[in-house]
Amino acid sequence: MTFMQKDNYATKIAVIGGGAAGMMAAGTALLYGADVTIFEGTDRLGKKLAITGKGRCNVTNNCSREEFLENVTKNSRFLYAPLSALSTEETICFFESLGVATKTERGKRVYPVTDKAKDIVDAMRKYSDGATKIFKKVSALKLVNEKFIVTADKKDYEFDKVIMATGGKSYPLTGSDGSGFRLASKLGHTVTELIPSLIPIESSSALCKDMQGLSLRNVKIDIKDKNAKSVYSDFGEMMITHFGVTGPVILSASARIRDYDISTLTLCIDLKPALDEKALDARLLSDFSKQTNKDLINSLGALLPTKMISPFIRYTGIDERKKVNAITKEERKTILTALKGFEIPLEAFRPIEEAIITSGGIDVKEISPKTMESKLVGGLYFAGEMIDVDAYTGGFNLQIAFSTGYLAGKSAAEY
């Protein structure tokens, strides 16, 4: 379906950035009759989209608008109109209409049934196919005599309107290197502080180096402040790496603790959350009674992953060669405490380049939420991660890119 514009003059729109938001904006503007050109700084559209969800692409979240907004970390009210323009349900239908069937998994996370992010990328490329593509990085953007002049590779191009969708500052190899923020600030826009979100966390604890590569499933994490007060807890999977900790529960935690001085926080891992202390003590006693003549290091195989046993015993301060039948009641209590609260001191977030999401961006006060148009520069629109809104994991961030991209494309072409 094509919505031709009244006077048959097709508005010339430049979309800067060919990611999730840019392709959605471009395809929608085409649908509303505009003449669209996408400028993409890398050699391909949707490079970041292709690596989302560990290559499976968690494309949206099958939840109500209220639940969605609860998962938005910053400036959630700004998203009412974009989510009305393109809801999560409509996004699922949108992909189905482009031939990508989806499925809903744990936490209402939506994925393509094929588990291939490539299918989402291909669908978005198809949707924006009618746009002219220029695979060059935009180095300047000016407004001259009510026309936008886009400069790429020393060449100037003239447009009626511009949609900026250059993403954040993380994973720069996918093209989102923060250059879009400079272009927008030259036109007078405010860029709020850019910080990493959904980011691995560093710890210099020798424990991490000893256990690097270890994946812990079904653990409960508690992040405690210096007064041992819990500031965040969650249940799920995490990984230990050479630099510290990462994995789903850690990434989610990072978005919730970003206002704390992280070097004052400690990660406490409950390695056996399904057992309370009494049940776990009974389990320990039972395990020990079956292997009384073994060394401690050879007796914890049923309780802990192999890679963790030696560092774990060192953490308790007990001699790993001590015979199980010589373990005292106090030592058993120490083992129990370590199983229920294995502590790793936290130090810092990894650099923004490694973040799943950049928090911060174009100040929402300077963008009309009903159209995505700049309140400072008429004819300039914003979409996606470059706007100062971000959310937790679960498909919310891509939905933000799709909804704001859709609204920007529609508004820019319509008015």
Ligand X SMILES: Cc1cc2nc3c(=O)[nH]c(=O)nc-3n(C[C@H](O)[C@H](O)[C@H](O)COP(=O)(O)OP(=O)(O)OC[C@H]3O[C@@H](n4cnc5c(N)ncnc54)[C@H](O)[C@@H]3O)c2cc1C
Binding-site ranges for ligand X (CB under 6 A): 16-22, 39-42, 47-49, 51-53, 57-58, 137-138, 165-167, 170-171, 174-176, 179-180, 356-357, 384-385, 395-398, 401
In this complex, which beta carbon is closest to ligand X, that of residue 14 or of residue 223?
A: 14
| CA separation for the pair 46, 26 (Å, rounded) | 13
Q: Are 134 and 152 in contact (CB under 8 A)?
A: yes
For ligand X, which is the closer residue by CB, 17 or 311? 17
Beta carbon nearer to ligand X, 94 or 396 = 396
Q: How far is the CB of 49 from ligand X (least distance, A)?
A: 6
Q: Which is nearer to ligand X, 87 or 334 (CB)?
A: 87
Cα torsion 391, 396, 402, 407: sign:
negative
Decide: 178 and 191 in contact? Cβ < 8 Å: no
Q: To the nearest whole angstrom, how small is the minimum distance from the Cβ of residue 54 to ligand X?
A: 7
- Smallest distance, Å, CB 413 to ligand X? 18
Question: Nearest 10 degrees: CA dihedral of 246, 249, 251, 254?
Answer: -110
Phi, psi of 213 (to 5 degrees): 95, -5
Nearest CB to ligand X, comparing residues 41 and 244: 41
Closest distance of CB 41 from ligand X, Å = 3
Sheet holding 60-61, edge to edge: 60-61, 109-112, 102-105
CB of 153 to ligand X, least distance (A): 10
Q: What span, in angstroms and rounded, lies between the C-alpha atoms of 383 and 222?
A: 35
Least distance from ligand X to the Cβ atom of residue 125, Å: 12
Residue closer to ligand X by CB (options 42, 88) is 42
Give the H/E segment covering residue 217.
strand 215-224
DSSP β-ladder status, 12-16 and 35-39: parallel
DSSP SS3 for 101: coil
Contact 23, 29 (CB under 8 A): no
Beta bridge partners of 196: 358
Q: Please give the angle made by the CA atoms of 145, 148 and 150, to the nearest 5 degrees.
A: 135
Q: Of the candidates 126, 125, 157, which has an alpha carbon nearest to the alpha carbon of residue 141?
A: 157
Rounded distance, CA 403 to CA 372, Å?
A: 10
- Work out how close the CB of 102 gets to ligand X at its nearest, in angstroms, rounded to a whole number: 13
What's the closest the beta carbon of residue 215 comes to ligand X, in angstroms?
A: 18
- Phi and psi, residue 110, nearest 5°: -105, 130
Q: Where are the beta strands (DSSP E) in 225-345?
A: 230-240, 244-246, 266-270, 342-345
Min dist. Cβ of residue 43 to ligand X (A): 10
Nearer to ligand X, 255 or 318 (CB): 255
Taking the least distance from each CB to ligand X, the nearer of 21 and 339 is 21
Q: Which is nearer to ligand X, 54 or 329 (CB)?
A: 54
